[in-house]
């Protein structure tokens, strides 16, 4: 059973269903159900998660800080030695500053452009200003808290990549990354997927690819310091492929960039209703409430069969993936 998992190194959890940004790239904000992962359930599951070897839990969503008691979600995980990463819009950082510095090893905020572009992409007035105030508040308590930022690149911000990095530097982040926008999957609360018009609205059009090339070259020249300092870890060559070739592939101008990913063998996502997936884009394995344990869900006969048959190099969802990664796996476990 080489595809049965004896351990997981990381876990993504989605504590609150909705969001306080209204991003052009995402429909999660349309979920106003206020559904949440219950802190008592996390408390109940935490021992097993520790036994499974989970070292890092990334709280995402949705906006985790909208959870009515996120401190109680974090506590049992922290008590068991898991490192916590908070992925946030930043709007509520100021209100929850003490809880954030007490619980999180890294705060990863979304930054989708220089201030006015960020506000318009996220469709929230003063979103950037609230993010700055939030970061000031957490740093007033813990000046060396590690803060990272990420920008999802699409038609509404691709002409501002260098300014986005300058803005990230002003925010004092230690890491910054770019990711192309996924428009084809059902992730980001898009059951049934977006129709062609919605997809076309967000992607960088084929006509605009030369302008994207120019903007990327401007980024590499004007922000060379961000690359040499390690704030941006990806090389210019990687970003040319990851961002530019990705959008060119959407327009069938070249194949999708090659994917190297072992995430389904070392990671999982627990959604707000207990649904468990191998990653944000692939079909669900099952539900934690019904199966009773994470191990039972990720090692159900159907889940093991799915991993056995998964070829990330040819799988259509994997080929179009925008966030493929690798994690350390135990010997003998992993993609064929
Ligand atoms: C869905 S958000 C949830 C965390 C938090 N509420 C936030 O806004 O950062 C997680 C990340 O997904 C990114 N994202 C949103 N729409 C996306 C898309 N269509 N493709 C790829 N990433 C996307 C966001 O920019 C953000 O960095």
Q: Which residues pair with 16 in a beta bridge?
A: 36
Cβ of 188 below 6 Å from ligand 1: yes
Residue of the CA atom closest to atom 27 of ligand 1: 110
* Confidence tier at 2 by pLDDT (50, 70, 90): confident
Taking the model in full, what pTM does it have? 0.97
**88 in ligand 1 pocket by Cβ < 6 Å?**
yes
Average pLDDT on 105-112 reads 98
d(CA 58, CA 39): 15
Residues of the chain above pLDDT 90, percent: 97
- Please report the pLDDT score of residue 237 as a whole number: 97
Asked if pLDDT for residue 302 goes beyond 90, the answer is: yes
**% the chain with pLDDT above 70:** 100
Mean pLDDT taken over the chain:
97
**Ligand 1 contacts CB of residue 46 (under 6 A):** no
- pLDDT tens profile 44-58: 999 999 999 999 999
DSSP state of 94: T
CB 191 within 8 A of CB 28: no
pLDDT digits (tens, 9 = 90+) for 3-13: 999 999 999 99
Q: Write out pLDDT tens, residues 187-219.
A: 999 999 999 999 999 999 999 999 999 999 999
- Ligand 1 contact via 157 beta carbon (within 6 Å): no
Task: Name the residue of 179, 190, 247, 322 to mutate for ligand 1: max ligand atoms within 8 A of Cβ.
Answer: 179
Beta carbon of 56 within 6 Å of any ligand 1 atom: no
Mutate to test the pocket of ligand 1, among 70, 128, 152 (most ligand atoms within 8 A of CB): 152
Atom from ligand 1 closest to the CA of residue 19? 6
Report the sign of the C-alpha dihedral through residues 222, 227, 232, 233, in that order: positive
pLDDT at 86 over 90: yes
What pLDDT shows up at residue 1? Answer: 59
Ligand 1 pocket check for 164: Cβ under 6 Å? no
Which secondary-structure segment (H or E) carries 147? Answer: strand 146-153
Q: Is 23 in the pocket of ligand 1 (CB under 6 A)?
A: yes
Cα–Cα distance for residue pair 23/62, rounded to 1 Å: 11
CB 22 within 8 A of CB 260: no
The rounded Å distance from CA 203 to ligand 1 centre is: 15
DSSP letter (8 states) at residue 158:
G
């Amino acid at each position: 059973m080489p595809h049965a998992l004896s351990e997981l190194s990381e876990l993504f959890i989605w504590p609150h269903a909705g969001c306080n940004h209204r991003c052009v790239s995402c429909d999660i904000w349309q979920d106003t159900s206020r559904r949440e992962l219950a802190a008592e359930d996390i408390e109940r599951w935490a021992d097993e998660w520790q036994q499974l070897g989970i070292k890092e839990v990334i709280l995402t969503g949705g906006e985790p800080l909208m959870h009515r008691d996120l401190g109680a979600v974090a506590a049992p995980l922290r008590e068991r030695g898991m490192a916590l990463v908070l992925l946030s819009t930043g709007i509520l950082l100021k209100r929850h500053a003490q809880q954030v510095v007490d619980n999180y090893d890294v705060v990863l905020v979304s930054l989708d452009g220089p201030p006015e572009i960020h506000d318009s992409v996220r469709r929230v007035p003063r979103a950037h200003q609230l993010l700055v105030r939030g970061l000031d508040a957490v740093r007033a308590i813990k000046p060396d808290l590690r803060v990272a930022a990420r920008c999802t690149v699409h038609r509404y911000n691709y002409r501002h990549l260098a300014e986005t990095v300058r803005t990230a530097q002003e925010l004092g982040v230690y890491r910054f990354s770019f990711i192309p926008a996924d428009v084809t999957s059902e992730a980001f609360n898009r059951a049934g997927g977006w129709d062609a018009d919605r997809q076309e609205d967000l992607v960088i059009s084929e006509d605009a690819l030369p302008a994207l090339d120019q903007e990327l070259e401007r980024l590499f020249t004007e922000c060379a310091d961000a690359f040499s300092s390690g704030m941006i870890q990806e090389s210019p060559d990687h970003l040319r492929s990851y961002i530019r070739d990705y959008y060119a592939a959407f327009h069938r101008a070249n194949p999708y960039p090659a994917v190297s990913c072992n995430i389904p063998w070392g990671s999982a996502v627990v959604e707000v209703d207990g649904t468990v997936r191998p990653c944000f884009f692939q079909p669900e394995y099952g539900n934690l409430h019904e199966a009773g344990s994470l191990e039972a869900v990720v090692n159900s006969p159907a889940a093991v069969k799915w991993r056995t048959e998964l070829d990330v190099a040819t799988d259509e969802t994997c080929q179009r993936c925008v966030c493929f990664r690798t994690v350390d796996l135990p010997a003998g476990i992993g993609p064929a």
